[in-house]
Amino acid sequence: MIDLRSDTVTLPTQEMLDAMVSAPLGDDVYGADPTVNALEEFAADKLGFGAAIFAPSGTQSNLLAIMSHCQRGDEYIVGHDAHTFKYEAGGAAVLASVQPQTVSFTEQGELPISAIEAVIKPKDVHFASTKMLALENTYHGKVLPMDYLPKAREVADKHNLALHLDGARVFHAATYHNIEVTDITKHCDSVSVCLSKGLSAPVGSLLCGTAEVIERARKWRKMLGGGMRQAGVLAAAGRIALEAMPNRLQQDHDNAALLGQLIADLPGLAVRHNWLQTNMVWCDFNKSIAQELTPFAQSRGIIIRPSDKEMRLVIHRHIGEAEVKQTAAMLSEFFK
């Protein structure tokens, strides 16, 4: 099957599976798994931070950042439909007791500086203390403009906020700009990066930050049940994901662009060309056809998950030029 629902469906490479079998292991809760320790050191170095911690998921890694930068009763500023806010089951509020203060994202995924400043609370007993600003890059496959990041850093410094980046796909952003990932991460106090999406590892995310932030995160991870004992089995695959897989992301971007071109003129479907920067192709429908399209695609060997009016097609390691052409042919048959 050609699965276009998400890049989370990627399977580990043979090299990852081989590395998992032969990884030296220990008990990571005692800090004694050499493969996890090596991955954390490698990640901290690659992303330009003092330390890193391996977490089971991006959801937990983002939550560790919130819990490590904020305290109970504090507040963090976040985009209105950011993953951290909308798709992580309300963990900041429920588990961290940290109140989310939303600001509307611009089309490109920026939180306007004036809007951030407008919601920062003054010191007053009536208000939660604003302690953190959370950004997301990429956002719906779109890349934050490089001139935005220094502005976000400046406003964070001015108001004493920690700046956290949900960088689940930060290597896609770096690939798009053709820059080092540290050119993005250097503006942040912490970054969560997912190994199990476009980078193809089976499980895992890394939170990178200062040694103090990561030390706090280590305790919160234990509390949240994320202490994983012989986690080197997973970290071995994660190391290959982080070391080797960012180099192939341009292929995914090229294939996404190809798919966007091939379906650009179909009647009843409009590609959001201005959103098509990395590995996601977003389309709008002029009427509600999801109920017919999903089984039709399935009958042609393609798994998609359209909603009533829109659809996201995600390109990843298992979708090459042939699969892109097969998808375009299926959509052409359906819409024509």
Ligand X SMILES: Cc1ncc(COP(=O)(O)O)c(C=O)c1O
Residues found near ligand X in the complex (CB under 6 A): 8, 57-59, 83, 136, 166, 168, 194, 196, 205
The nearer residue to ligand X, 83 or 239, going by C-beta atoms, is: 83
| Type of residue numbered 127 | F
Query: Residue 232 Cβ, how far from ligand X at the closest point, in Å?
Result: 19
Query: Residue 238 Cβ, how far from ligand X at the closest point, in Å?
Result: 12
For residues 182 and 48, is the Cβ–Cβ distance under 8 A? yes
The nearer residue to ligand X, 196 or 263, going by C-beta atoms, is: 196
Query: Residue 32 Cβ, how far from ligand X at the closest point, in Å?
Result: 25
The nearer residue to ligand X, 120 or 312, going by C-beta atoms, is: 312
The nearer residue to ligand X, 79 or 260, going by C-beta atoms, is: 79
Per-position DSSP letters for 246-308, written without gaps between them: GGGHHHHHHHHHHHHHHTTT-TTEEE-GGG-SSSEEEEEESS--HHHHHHHHHHTTEE----S
d(CA 241, CA 303): 25
The nearer residue to ligand X, 141 or 306, going by C-beta atoms, is: 141
Q: How far is CA 163 from CA 42, 135, 319, in A?
A: 22, 8, 34
The nearer residue to ligand X, 226 or 306, going by C-beta atoms, is: 226
d(CA 58, CA 43): 15
The nearer residue to ligand X, 120 or 172, going by C-beta atoms, is: 172
The nearer residue to ligand X, 111 or 120, going by C-beta atoms, is: 111
User: By C-alpha distance, which of 218, 196, 220, 189 is closest to 48?
Assistant: 189
d(CA 220, CA 3): 35
Query: Residue 136 Cβ, how far from ligand X at the closest point, in Å?
Result: 6
Q: What is the 8-class DSSP label of residue 242?
A: H
Across 37-70, b (16+ Cβ under 10 Å) vs e yields bbbbebbbebbbbebbbbbbbbbbbbbbbbbbbb
Query: Residue 59 Cβ, how far from ligand X at the closest point, in Å?
Result: 3
Query: Residue 292 Cβ, how far from ligand X at the closest point, in Å?
Result: 27
Query: Residue 58 Cβ, how far from ligand X at the closest point, in Å?
Result: 3
Q: What is the 8-class DSSP label of residue 202?
A: S
The residue assigned the tokens 């890394």 is 206
For residues 3 and 317, is the Cβ–Cβ distance under 8 A? no
Query: Residue 202 Cβ, how far from ligand X at the closest point, in Å?
Result: 11
Nearest residue relative to ligand X (C-beta)? 58
